[in-house]
Each structure stands twice: as C-alpha cells, then as structure tokens.
Structure 1
Amino acid sequence: MRTKFTLVILTSLFFLLFSNASQAQEKGTITGQVSLNDNQSPENISVILKGTRFGTITDANGIYKIKNVKPGNYTLKISALGYITREFKIILAAGQELIQNATININSEELSGVTVNGNKKNNFARKENPQVSRLPLKNLENPQVYTTITSELLKDQVVTNIDDALKNAPGIQPLWTSTGRGSDGAGYFSLRGFAVQPRALNGLPGLSNGSLDPANIDKIEVIKGPSGTLFGSTLVSYGGLINITTKTPYDHFGGEINYTAGSYGLNRVTADINTPLNEEKTVNFRINTAYHNENSFQDAGFRKAIFVAPSLSYKASDRLSFLINTEFLSNEATNATMLFLTRSTPLRVKNMDELGYDNKRSYTNNQLSIKTPSFNLQGQMFYKINDSWTSQTAVSRTSAKSEGYYSYLFDNTDQLLPNSTVRKYEGINQGLVFDRLLNYQNSTTLATDIQQNFIGDFKIGNMRNRIVAGLDYFNRQIIDNGTGYVQNGSVYIGDDNLQTVNEVIFKITTPAQYIRTGDNGKLSKNATDALLAGATVNNSRQKQEVYSAYVSNVINFLPNLSAMASLRVDRFMNAQNGGYNQTALSPKFGVVYQPVLDKVSLFANYMNGFTNVAPAEDVNGSTRTPRVFDPEHADQLEFGTKLNLLEDKLYTTLSYYNIKVTDRVYNIRNSATDITYFQDGGQRNKGFEAEIIANPIQGFNIVAGYSYVDANVLKGDINTVGYRPTSAGAYNTANLWASYRFQNNALKGFGLGFGGNYSGENKITHGLVTGTFTIPEYTVLNSSVFYGNDKFNLTLKIDNIANVDTYDGWSTVHPRNMRSASASFSYKF
C-alpha cells in the first residue's frame, strides 16, 4: 500500500515538473538593437509590447531584451521623445529568441509645429515638451498636471488673440482683460482660483503690458499648481503658470500666408516663412509676422498692432547648437471698459440686472489710446557634454513699455448720493455713479534673465536618473514717469432715462423728466491734456534681483514606477521701500505608477510656491513701526490619473487638488492713524479638473474640459474670512471644441467645427462689508465650416452664435465680445 502511494506521489511530481518545463520552453524572448539616425546615444529608448504589461528600455548600446513572453502575435512599439515612433508586427514561436532590430529617425517636422508620430492623427494632442519639467519627460511620466493648446487648434478656431486661445484649457478663466497699464498691463486669468498672467516664453521670462499676438505660438502650456520649485516666484502664481512655446526654424523651405476679415472692422494678415541659409542646412531662419486692426463692438474702442518675430537656429556640430528667438510688438489700443465696484461700503446693487449697464457703452473715446510696444530676445546654447549630460545656457532680455492714456470707472455712489437723499421710484433703477479716473502712463519695464542648466540621463545600478541642476539670475527694473490720476467727469449707470450726472446727483430725489444715461466728462484729447496739465509727475525707479539654484531628479525604480524630488532656493533682493532681502526654499515631490506602461498612469504630487512680501509700517497715531515679513507660501497636494489609449487616439487627465496658502499678510485698519499688520492669514483652494483630447475616428478631433474650484479665506481680515476670494472665478467652468473633416467622396476636404464655453455664476465681489455682486452664468456657442487641402484652407466662423451678454470680473465688471463672424484664408507653400 505504501509503495503504491509513493508511486502516485512520484508520478504527480513527474507530471508537475514536466508541465513546468514545458511551460518554460513555451515562453520566448524578444531582443534586438535600436539605433538613432542622428548618431545620438540610443540609451533609454522605450520598447513595449502594445496591449501587454511587457516592456523595457534600451541600454547604452541600444540593446533591449524582453523575457518570458508567451508565444503569439504582438505589436512591438519603439519610441523616444523627439523621434518618430516605429511599430513592428511580430510572431513569437514557443521557446523562440526573436531578434528585431530597428533604426528610428529624428522628428525634424516637429520643429515646424507638425507632429509626425507613426499614424498619429490626434492633431489637438502634443503633450511632450521639456520646458514643462525642464526634463524630457512624457506626459504620463510627469506627476504634474498641464494642458497643451496646440497651434492646430488655434487655426481650427480662427483665434486672433490670447484670451480666446486660453479658453481651451480647463481650470482657467478670464479675470481682467489687458489694460496696457505699466508693469502689469497684460491680461489676468484665474487658474485654480488664483490670479495669473502669461509671463513665460519658452520657459523664460517674457513680459508684456498689452495683449499678446498669437502669430508665433506653436503651443501654449497651462501648467497647473504652485510651480515655484522650477520657475521661481516671478513667472507663476499659486494656481500655476502660462508658458508660450514659440515656433522654431526647420531644415527646409516652407511657409504659410493668412488673411482674416471679420466683424467690427477686423483685418488681420499673417505670414510664416522658413528657409535654410546654407547648403548643409545647419543654419535655418524663420520669421512670423502679423498686422492686426480691429474695432470694438461698443460705441468706441480699437486695437491696432504690428508684430514681427524672426528666429535663427545654428547647428555648429553634432554636440553644439544655438537657437535665437526675437519678438517685436507695436500695439496701440483704447482701454477696455472697466467698472470698479466699491470695496469698502455695502453694495447698492447685487447683479447685472440691478446695475442696468448697457454693454454697448464704452465711456471712452478713440483719441484716448495707449501704446504698449514690447521686445523679447532669447538666446539658447545647447552642448552635449557626453552621452549622459547636456548643458543648456539661456539668456533673455525683455522690454515692455506703456505710454498713453489709462482710465477706469470707480464706484463713488456713496459720496455723491448719500443714503439720506436717495429714493428708488417704482420702475426706476437706483443705479450707481462712477468717477472716471485717468492718468498718462509713461512706464518701462526691463527684465534680464540668465540660466545655466545641466541635464543628465544616467543609471545608478538598475535605476534610471533624469536630473536637471540649474542656476538662475533674474533682474527687473520698473521706471515710472507717468502722471498722477485726475478725474474726468462722472458717469451714471442705471436708468436710461436720466439726462446728466448733475441731474442724477441733484434731482434724483425729485420726480422729474428722465431722458438718458448721464456722462459729464470731456473725452477729447485736448480737454484731457488740460486736466492732466496740473497733475503730479512720478519719478520712480524700482529694481529687483533674484539669485536662484535648483535641482530636480526623476528616478525610475522600475520601468513603470518613478519618483520626482526637487528643491529650489531663492535669494530675493529689492531696492524699493528702503531695500529688503529674503530667502525662500521651495520643495517638490511626486510619484508616478503606470499599471499599463505608456497607457495608464496614477500620480500624486506635493508642490510648493512662494511670494516675497514687501515691508510695511504699523501706524499708531504719529508712531510708525517698520515691519519685515517672511515669504508667503502655498502648498499643494494632488492626485489623479492620466490615460493615453487607443494608439494615441484618447488622452485623458483626471485630478483632484488641495492648495493651502499660509503666512499671508493682511492688516486691520481702524482709521488712517490706526493700522496693524499681521502675517498669519490663510486661504484654501481645492477642486477637480478633467481633460479629454480624442480622435475617435479619422478626421474627427475633440478637446473638452471641466473644472470645479472651491476657494475660501481661512484666516485674515474679518471682512474676508469665510468668503470666496474675488480672484477665484466661477465654481464651475467647461470647454468643448469638436471638428470633423470629411475624408472621402465628394465632400473630401470639407469640415465642420462646433463648441463653446460654459461659466457658472461668478462672485466678483464677496465680503462681510460689501456683500456680494454676482455675474450670471453663461454659455457661449461657436461654430465653423471649412474647406481645404495641403495647399490652402478657407474657414468661416461665427463666435457667440446666440449673442449672449458675457462679463468677467475681479471686483470689476468688464463686458466681453458679442456675436461676430470672420472669414480666414490661408495658403501654404
């Protein structure tokens, strides 16, 4: 019996061992060598079996090996950033060691703004850009969230200004249109509930006081969250930063000319021309230029601009190359209508219906314009030290000037219409009286930035390290020789039947014959100059210097598991207010796990941003006590997922973030002689964002996004604690654009586009003393029809189809464009 039992056990073990041996023999290996056609190092190239968990990267010689693969049919995908992806259909037999070598070519067309990636047709998705992390990371490898707006999308939508371009990014809303004001006259946007301006150009400072021209934009990266670690405090806000990547030269002759005409006198001509300058094609030149002339939909207002952007690339050797970008913008415009609501007394009206504003009224004159010329120069040198290290040296120089008339309307109702004399008659809106305040701007901002980065890609043991270590020097000077403000009349906004401001002020308590809205200002240039003749003239010069050092390392513990650790130190030096210096540290951590390599990633990050706070004085009667503050900080925790599915046809990002601001400075002001400052204020912004970029079928492209922002002041002035900050924008926003180009039959070349933007209610003023003023929710729909081929394209577009009244605001009210139509024709050569 025992012998029989032993025989059964031995037989079972034999079959088990035989089964395992058979299985081991059945599995095979895929190996090979990958080379690059530009003689660069073939290390760390991604090699995966699509649709499986199998993948690896190449070694220093380009050799890869994927083991223990079951027999079957597979698609082998070989890819590297900046190179054209290749795919191979392979059949692996049982126990076979299959050899698949490959050479992949540099994606030279990527430099011209056209991404060629195998059979890629998702024209709205171009995520990879080393400027985002200062490292060559793929989107799925980066623990930070960012949105890319491509030049292809901007052409599809006939975009002619930066405000319309940014409507394609979830989580960003217009707060304050460009004013032309010295040192900060560019537009403001709410990003994750914090105010931000587009100040980064190719990852370097690029300042402007006016509206930016999109003619030289290759793509826009809206980088989310406090990004002080890699970009410092000058370019970013706690919500993130807006980085514009410009077009660069490529190695063959080509170009495009475009003419766009539309409503309100729009005439726009652009040209994009590229050519090699030598037979070896190592020196290439490109120039982008634009002429723009447009009037306002209101009773006055215009914008006129000339833009020129030449760029030059030079490849001195296989190791050394140079890139020079320049931009010249001559811009003249009238101030946009801006109604400043009271910030210190209870609001008399709570919404646009109660205000009774006619958005066709501009309350300005075309004689009162402001010029905002700007200049940007950037030079970069790239030197390949060895197979593991590259040096990047960058120098940028910016000049932004404001010269002309700047005005705004400020709510002064309580001074002109005291509560005791105001009566609201049935059917008559009480309205508001605004003072028109005006000055002559004469301001110049000069900025210089010098960066030295060392970028490494190497292994320690089996762990891949991608590291950037850099030094940064930033210098900004602001020279202001403008005048003080003078009052140029008052404007009554409310009942359209009241005649003049004087009648409103002195007769509103008397039932009288009301005729129309009042404005007693004198808006001619001569009358305004006479008012300014007695104004004071500024004579100020401010200087800021920032010395920075930073390091960021991405470690791959496994091909699908990586972590990022970063740190920055800033020494901030300011010559104004008697001079003050500060030092700030900014850390950053992130982790990425890809359960399906190059398809699905799960990420989490901790990010930090900071603001250098100027000194102030406590006031107690005649005693003044100087106060110096520590830097203010913001910390973000975020997690989410990124997807790249269906062979690059579907990109999705879903994320939740929580940003807490600490050490915020505020003051308690009991009177002009009783002011005390504190630095324990706090704010919390949290929210959810979703982005989808899809190409479900050939010719059909979709970009869509949704954002929810919940913002709250946690500690500070009692008038703001518990209330939503005015920079937070609407709670809910959404964007959509979809276009389809017919691929076959008689309609080939024709296409349709449709989309729009939704914004929920926006509390642009919100506090204990003032109460709340709410801008209503709106949905703006746009559509286009187009026809074209490889040589030409004609697009007809209608914006704001339903002619919806829309406004933005930041304790201000600014009317946005009404319905407009445009036609755009482009020719490529």
Structure 2
Amino acid sequence: MKQLLSILSLCLLTTVTLAQNATLTGTVKDNNHTSLFGVNVSLKNTAKGTQTDGNGNFEIANLENGDYTVLISYLGFKTKEISVSVSGNKNINLPTITLYEGNEILSEVMIQGERRNKFSRKETAYVSKLPLKDIENTQVYSTVTNEILKSQVVTNFNDALKNATGVEQLWTSTGRGGDGAGYFSLRGFSVQPQLVNGLPGLTNGTINPANIERIEVMKGPSATLFGNAVSSYGGLINVVTKKPYVGTGGELSFTSGTYGLNQIVGDFNTALSKEDNLYFRINTAYTKEQSFQDAGFRESFFIAPSLSYKVNNKLSFSFYGEITQAEQTNPTFLYLNRSAPTAASNLDELGYNHKLSFTSNDLTLENPTQNYRVEMDYKLSDTWKSQTLLSKSSTSTKGYYSYLFDYGILEGNTYSRFINKQNANTQTTDIQQNFIGDFKIASLRNRMVVGIDYFNETQTDNSTSYAFYGNVTPNGGVNGDDPFTEAVEENLYPLSTSGVDAVLASQAVNNLKSTYHIYSMYASDVIDFTDNFSAMLGLRLDHFDNEGDLADPEDDFNQTTLAPKFGLVYQPIKDKLSVFGNYQNGFTNVAPQLVGNPDEGPQRLQTFDPEQANQLEAGIKTNLFNNRLNATISYYDIKVKDRVITDPSSPFNKIQGGEVVSKGLEIEINANPMKGLNIRAGFSHNDSETTKSDNTEILNRRPLDAGPETLYNFWASYEFQNEALSGFGMGLGFNGASERFAINYKSTGEFILPSYTIANASIFYQANKYRIGLKLNNAFNKEYYKGWTTINPQKPRALLANISYQF
C-alpha cells in the first residue's frame, strides 16, 4: 500500500511539475500593424519551434526555467532575436513583435511543419529589388516553388518551367556557343534563363534543378530594374538558389528512371562558427541520362557552395557559386526552309521517324559553366541599407555541333547536315550598388531603391566554319549528294569523330572576340498614399558602349536610353484583394551577331539600332482565406518597335524594322482548399502579330517565337490525413498547348505543329526523415512536338522513382 501511495504521489508530483512548465506566447505584425501568418518562431539551440497562425499569434509550451533566445524570421523581412528568461515556471506573453521588411533573408530558420498553400510563395526581394508582397506589387510574376519540384520529382529545368503560367519551351538546350541554353516563349517573345538571384548568370547548357529554391518568372518588359542584357520583352526568368540557414542539416536524394536516368543529389548545411554567425551550405548533383532516340545522352556534375557571414547586426556577407561540368550530344533539330515551300506542310506528309537522332554518341559537346556572386549588406540607419553585389559568369562550348536544314534543292524531304567544331567562351561581369530605404515624407511611406549597375560581356569564338556532311530524310534515309555541287557524290559521311575531323581539317577557323559594356543608373519608389492605395515609379538611364569585334574598330558604337516604369495598386480589402495597373518599358541595344553564309567564307559581326517595347497591363490579385487562395488575373498589351528578326531569305542574316503587337490574358491560381491538398493551375492566351515591316514575308503574321496561342497547366497534390494512410499521398496533373507555327512566311506557307495535352501522375510516402515517390510522365505516351522554325520531338512516357533522406 505504501508503494502504491508512493507511485501515486510521484505521478501527481510529475503532473504538477509539467503543468507548471511555462508557455511563451506572442503576436507578430509588420510595420503596418498587419498580422503575419506563417512566421517562423523558434528557440535558439533547441528543437522547439512553431509558426504564427492567421492572426499572427504563436505559442510554445512546456518551457523549463532558464534563459532562451527567440528567433523570429519571415521571408522578405529582417530576422529578429529576443532574449527571454523563464523563472518560477511563469508564463510569458511577449509584447507585439514588429518585423520590418528587408532584403532576402539569408539565415532563415528551418522549421518543420505544415505550411499553407505550399505551391505559392510570392514573398521576394528580387522582382522589385524591394521587399514587396505580391499583392502590393504592380508587376505580375509566377513562382515555381521547391515544394512543386519535389511533388513532381523534377530532374530537369525544362520540366520545372512547365509549372509557370504562360511559359512554353521553344527548343531545348543545344549546347552551342553563345546561346546554347534553352529557349522559351513568354508573352509572345523568346527568352532564355539568364538571371540567378537577381544577377546575371549565364549558361550554354541547361540549369541543374538541385540548387533551386524557386523559379521566378517576371512578366512583361523589365528593363527599368534589370536592363536589357538578361531580359526579353515578354519578361525574364530568375532562378533563386538555396541559401545557408541557421542550423545543421541536409538531404540525400536518388532518382532513377526510364531511358537510363540516374541522378544523385546532396544538400548539406552547417555552422562553421556559431559564435561568429558563419554558416556554410553545399548542394551537389550527378546526373546521367540517355535519349529515347537511337542515340544521344547528357552527363553532368554540379556543385554549388554558399556561405553567409553575419559580422554584426549591421554588416553581413554572402557568397554563392555554381560550377557545372557537362557533356552532351546536341539535339539535331530538323530546320525547315525559311525561304521556299518545303515538300511537306505537316508531320503526316513529312513521314518523320521521331525516334531517330541523326547523330551519334561519338559527337559530343562539353559545356563547363561557372557562376559566382558576392553580396555585402550594411545597415546605414533604421531606414536605409546599402547592398553591394558582384557576379561573374563563364560559360564555354567545346566539341561537335550539327544541324539539319532543308535547302529545297534536293528532291523530296531531304535535309542537309552541316557540322562544325565549337570552341567558344562567354564571360560576364556585373557590379551593382543599391541603396534601399523605407522612410516617410510627411505622412507618406516610401520604399525606394536607388542603384548603379555596370555590366560587361565578352565573347570569344575560335570555332571552325560549318562543313557539309551528308543528307538525311526524316524516315532515316541517307545520301552524300552535296546540294551545292553538280556532281552526284556517294560518300555516306560516317558519324564518327575521325570522319568529321577529316572534313573539318580544310575549314577556316574563326578568330573573333567581341565585347560590350553597359553603364546604368536606376531608381524605383513605392509611395503609399493611403494604407490601401500606392504607386510605383521607376526610371533607368542606360548607356550602351559596344566595342564589337575587337579587330574591327568600324563596328564600334554607343547608345543612351531611358526606360521608365509606372504602376498603381488599390487594395479594396487590405492584404487580401488588390486591383493593379502598370506601364513597363523594355529596350534592346542588340548585341553584335554573326551574319553571312559560312559556306561563302567567314561570317562577320553586324550591329543594330536599339529596339523599344512598351506594355500596358491591368488585373487583380488575391490572398484570401488565410493564404489558402492566391490568384492573379491580368490582361496585357505589348508593342515593340524596330524589331530585329531572322531574314526569311537566309537563316544566317538578320534584318531590322518591324513592329510587333502582343496582347493576352493570364490566369494563375494557387489553392490549399483543405489540409493536405495543394493545387496549382494556370491558363494563358496570347495574340501576337507583326503589324509593320518592310519584309512582306512576315507582315500581318504571328511571329514564330510567339509559340502557341493557348497554354494551360494543372497540378494537384494530396497527402492523406487519416491515421491509417498517414504519410501517403498522390499527385495528378496535365499541361498542354494549342497548335503552333513552325514556319509562317508568305512564300513558304505554314508548317503547323499540332496541339497536345500531356497527363502526369505520382504517388509518394512521406515519413519523418525520408520520402519515397514514383512519378509517371506523359502517362498516355502521347507523341508531341515543339519547335521554332524547327521540329523537336518530345520524350515519350517515362517512369521515375525517387528516395530521399533528410537529416
């Protein structure tokens, strides 16, 4: 009996002790006294943490007596630390905590837990170079989050961008020098991904998704803040990389799939010195994949070290690097004739065997790429901050590049192969100095960035000229009859390095080096006239200094351009519903381009006058039901003057003098209607037309880089909530496009690639430390094509299996 009483007394004492453990509570708001949802709140050097609810409130229970440091962090806001002391097991209710907006937080605290609307993450300091919420930003942008990439078992950049509203691949990465990265259509214009963390980051290959935190697709001309070197009139693509955070942890992941895909990814974060706030993170990946065609492969090794160092509460430094070593066979597109009708006007007449690569694994390209960025942030005062940025890029191409072109000289659908040996390099340097302020003039709040920017790009080309190397037909026929000679030749031109080298031995080698400099000043100010009504005003002064071919002083020129920007936002319901309109400007001091038929001798560099683009846009944005429904609906109208286009009479020449109008509607929805269910849906319709041109071949026709008129995408992921199926989930989705013009000229007529809808599905199991997933791409094995004066077959059905472990 005494033992029983002793046990009961002990249990009662334990219960009382636990009941007496303290609870820490508080409320987090921004500078406008608006409650912040989803703020990370944790106790430093402990495993305890939580997130704020829809009213900005948080609670951390069962705290023992002692001293604690509370870390409060939220993307787009400055991290705050608060010291608290628990004694006598008394509860602590902190006074209202105010977070002030700042640039991208580099030392985010990683909290495991449920976050609403995982497919929507619109807080960013890059789009406007200011910490603006999406709902108060006059510009439209689409964000592809890391959560979407994991849900879809994404292993390449092209698949990641299928989730961005209004974006369609024109052609995949060719690996060739100068512009070997993939091309995408956006609001009727071609664009390449050339921005990393808001700074230039070039590649001649493809971007490895292993280091992607999210992808931001900014819509419309964006020259006011980003200039013209890395953007297009349809917008630009910014890759946000993973950054060091406070803590130690990481992840290992392995994906294997159809067509020989094997990818291993590693992510590790640690403190090099907790006392000095010095944190290090490294992401790395090795990928090898074969082609679904009879030949072709890509192999790459990627490593991305990053470092953050917080010297004190005023000064911090960051370093990021991405290094890629890659080798691939270039995809051998069928280039359609741009100056005369082809024998076929559609795929049925072409008789294309899409499983033929028309190359061999012996003919490869190497694409080493390096991107480095250094950032220094210094708090000048409570209202002003200095941001100094330096980025350097180096991307090279070495190896064999070929293309197939229908000259219309030989009978039937005959494509002549031309091949050269690439040896090209592009170097860029960008230096920015920004001053970012948040202050009041009278009663008006101003959020301002003032900056200067220096950009330099130097291209070196020591490639050989192109040589004729046999003919093929789309169904696999071959012959060696050179279309430019009278004699009928029988040489079958073997696809081997020895055979190609023998032909290229007599070709001239380019010795070209060109460079240009851009000197810029810009300012942008968001003025809050009331809590619900604000305006954005921006202006850029840009001086373009082109040295062109360094061996030819005759092609030097310079140009000074102004790029204004203006926008209005009215929020009928504060932080929940906004109505916006914008005017945005873009321009292009067109970089020198090689022109001239290489068969007639070395090509030459040609320069052009600047192009100008102006956009008017209006729409609405929502953030409803405690962040469960984010939607953007907008209509835009873009007009471009003095457009530079490919000469329809020759693929090697460029001409200037066109006017293009591009109008369209975009709808994007991110929803979390119930716990465990996340949905992303997008729809866009674009009308583009060349409305003015001396070239009658393209007048009143849809430009080829405009892509399809209609695009749509959908993805839903659901994790079961009942206990029996806890951890299991599934994903379903589709993406598609209307038909598009591969050729659309007056003399050639039209070659139309058909519309498509591709279905995808996944299942997964998510445990505390690991995740297992299966993904089926192109579930119904649809044969479909993309292209831009080309015919580019896409991958058939493919199954991927992934396992990842977090630590």
How far apart are 1:279 and its partner, in Å?
Answer: 3.0
Q: 1:160-199: per-residue Cα shift (whole Å, max 9, x none)? A: 1110000001111000110111111000000011000000
Secondary structure at the counterpart of residue 161 of structure 2: helix
Q: Which residue of 2 aligns with 1:682?
A: 659
Partners of 1:399 and 1:188 lie apart in 2 by: 19
Could you tell me which residue of structure 2 aligns to residue 724 of structure 1?
Answer: 702
- 1:822 pairs with one of 774, 789, 800: 800
Q: How big is the shift at 1:47?
A: 2.2
In structure 2, relative to structure 1, the CA distance for the partners of 1:235 and 1:732 (3 Å cut) is same
CA deviation digits over 1:39-74, x for unaligned, max 9?
Answer: xxx983442699xxxxxxxxxxxxxxxxxxxxxxx9
Partners in 2 of 1:738 and 1:551 — Cα distance?
A: 40
1:151-170 maps to which residues of 2 (within 5 A)? Answer: 151-170=146-165
Q: How far apart are the structure 2 equivalents of 1:49 and 1:155?
A: 26
Q: 1:382 aligns with which of 377, 382, 390?
A: 377
Q: Which amino acid aligns with 1:183?
A: G
CA distance in 1 between partners of 2:226 and 2:125 (Å) = 13
Does the C-alpha gap of structure 1 residues 547 and 801 become closer, same or farther in structure 2, counting only changes over 3 Å?
A: same
The question of 1:150 aligning with 2:145 is answered: yes
The answer to whether residue 564 in structure 2 is matched with residue 587 in structure 1 is yes
Residue number among 580, 584, 588 corresponding to 1:603 in the alignment: 580
* CA distance in 2: counterparts of 1:737 and 1:670, whole angstroms: 43
Specify which of 207, 212, 227 is matched with residue 217 of structure 1.
212
The answer as to 2:261 corresponding to 1:266 is: yes
Provide the rounded CA distance (Å) in 1 between the counterparts of 2:368 and 2:196.
Answer: 17
| 2:114 aligned with 1:135 | no
Equivalence map 1:185-584=2 (5 Å): 185-280=180-275, 282-412=277-407, 414-417=408-411, 431-494=412-475, 500-501=478-479, 520-576=492-548, 578-584=555-561
Contact 2:342 2:413 in 1 (8 A): no
Shift of 1:635: 0.3
Between the two proteins, the alignment pairs up a number of residues equal to: 719
One-letter amino acid matched to 2:189: F
Secondary structure class of the residue paired with 1:528: helix
**AA matched with 1:631:** P
- The one-letter code matched in structure 1 to 2:291 is S
Q: Return the TM-score normalized by structure 1.
A: 0.82
| Structure 2 residue 732 is matched with structure 1 residue 774 | no
**Structure 2-normalised TM-score?**
0.84
Residues 1:261 and 1:666: Cα distance change in structure 2 (over 3 Å): closer
Q: For 1:670 and 1:175, locate their aligned partners in 2 and report how far apart those are by CA, in whole Å.
A: 21
* Cα distance in 1 for residues equivalent to 2:314 and 2:26: 18
Secondary structure class of the residue paired with 1:522 = coil
Q: Is the 8 A contact 2:729 2:765 kept in 1?
A: yes
Q: Quick check: 1:44 aligned with 2:31?
A: yes
Q: Percent identity?
A: 49
Change (3 A) 1:670 1:314: closer
* Contact 1:84/1:117 (8 A) holds in 2: no
Deviates more, 1:75-84 or 1:188-197: 75-84
Q: Displacement of 1:795 after TM fit?
A: 0.3
**1:688-723, Cα deviation, whole Å (9 max, x unpaired):** 000001111000000010010110001111110100
Q: What SS is found at the alignment partner of 1:277?
A: strand
Aligned AA (2:752): T
Q: Which has the larger radius of gyration?
A: 1
The 1-side partners of 2:228 and 2:619 are apart by 26
- Partner of 2:405: helix, strand, or coil? strand
Q: Are 1:709 and 2:686 matched, yes or no?
A: yes
How big is the shift at 1:665? 4.9
Q: Structure 2: how far apart are the matches of 1:474 and 1:131?
A: 18
Q: Which residue matches 1:786?
A: 764
Calculate the aligned-residue CA RMSD, in Å.
3.1
Do residues 736 (structure 1) and 709 (structure 2) align? no
Name the residue aligned to 1:61. Answer: none
What letter is aligned with 2:681?
A
Give, as a single letter, the amino acid of the residue that structure 2 aligns with 1:530: A
CA distance in 1: counterparts of 2:655 and 2:769, whole angstroms:
63
Give, in whole Å, the separation in 1 of the partners of 2:78 and 2:178.
43
- In structure 1, stretches of 5+ residues that fail to align are 1-33, 51-73, 87-98, 418-430, 506-517, 620-625
Q: Say if 2:684 and 2:712, in contact at 8 Å, map to a contact too.
A: yes
1:658 aligned residue (637, 640, 645): 637
In structure 2, how many angstroms separate the alpha carbons of the residues matched to 1:595 and 1:302? 54
Residue in structure 2 matched with residue 59 of structure 1 by the alignment: none
Amino acid at match of 1:643: T
SS at match of 1:47: coil
Superposed CA offset, 1:454-497 (max 9, x none): 00000011110000000000011001111000111100125x7x
Q: Which amino acid counterpart does residue 690 of structure 2 have in structure 1?
A: V
Could you tell me which of 670, 677, 682 is aligned with 1:700?
A: 677
Task: State whether residues 266 and 284 of structure 2, in contact with CA within 8 Å, keep that contact through their aligned partners in structure 1.
Answer: yes
Alpha-carbon separation, structure 2, partners of 1:47 and 1:752: 36
Query: How far apart are residue 290 of structure 1 and its match?
Result: 0.1
Name the amino acid aligned to 2:772: L
SS at match of 2:724: coil
Q: Secondary structure at the match of 2:414?
A: strand
Cα distance in 2 for residues equivalent to 1:44 and 1:764: 52
In 2 relative to 1, CA 538–702 (structure 1 residues): closer, same or farther, beyond 3 Å? same
Give, in angstroms, the shift of residue 352 of structure 1.
Answer: 1.2
The 8 Å contact of residues 760 and 776 in structure 1, kept in 2 or not, is answered as: yes
How far apart, in 1, do the equivalents of 2:670 and 2:491 lie?
49
1:346/1:822 CA distance change after superposition, 3 Å: same
- Kindly indicate whether the alpha-carbon contact (under 8 Å) linking 1:490 and 1:519 is maintained by their aligned counterparts in 2: no
The AA in structure 2 aligned to 1:446 is Q
What CA distance in whole angstroms lies between the structure 2 residues aligned with 1:821 and 1:112? 37
Instruction: Output the CA distance in 2 between the equivalents of 1:543 and 1:256.
Output: 42
CA distance in 1, matches of 2:432, 2:142: 25
Residues 443 and 349 from structure 1, CA distance in 2 versus in 1: closer, same or farther, beyond 3 angstroms? same
User: Structure 2: where are the runs of 5+ without partners?
Assistant: 1-24, 38-53, 59-72, 81-92, 484-489, 550-554, 597-604
- Residues 30 and 100 of structure 2 are in contact (CA less than 8 Å); yes or no, is this contact kept in structure 1? no
The structural deviation recorded for 1:278 is: 1.1
Go from structure 1 to structure 2 and tell me whether the alpha carbon gap of 1:570 and 1:110 turns closer, same or farther (over 3 Å shift).
Answer: closer
SS of residue in 1 equivalent to 2:292:
coil
Q: 1:121, CA displacement in angstroms?
A: 2.0
Quick one: structure 1 residues 316 and 84, their matched pair in 2 at CA, closer, same or farther if it must change by over 3 Å? closer
Structure 2 residue identity aligned to 1:246:
T
Q: State whether residues 85 and 117 of structure 1, in contact with CA within 8 Å, keep that contact through their aligned partners in structure 2.
A: no
Query: What is the distance in 2 between the residues matched to 1:676 and 1:338?
Result: 21
Determine whether 1:800 maps to 2:796. Answer: no
Q: Aligned partners of 1:582 and 1:81: how far apart in 2? A: 39
> Structure 1 pair 584/678, CA: closer, same or farther in 2 (3 Å)?
same
SS in 2 for 1:575: strand
Q: How much does 1:347 deviate?
A: 2.8
Match of 1:644 in 2: 623
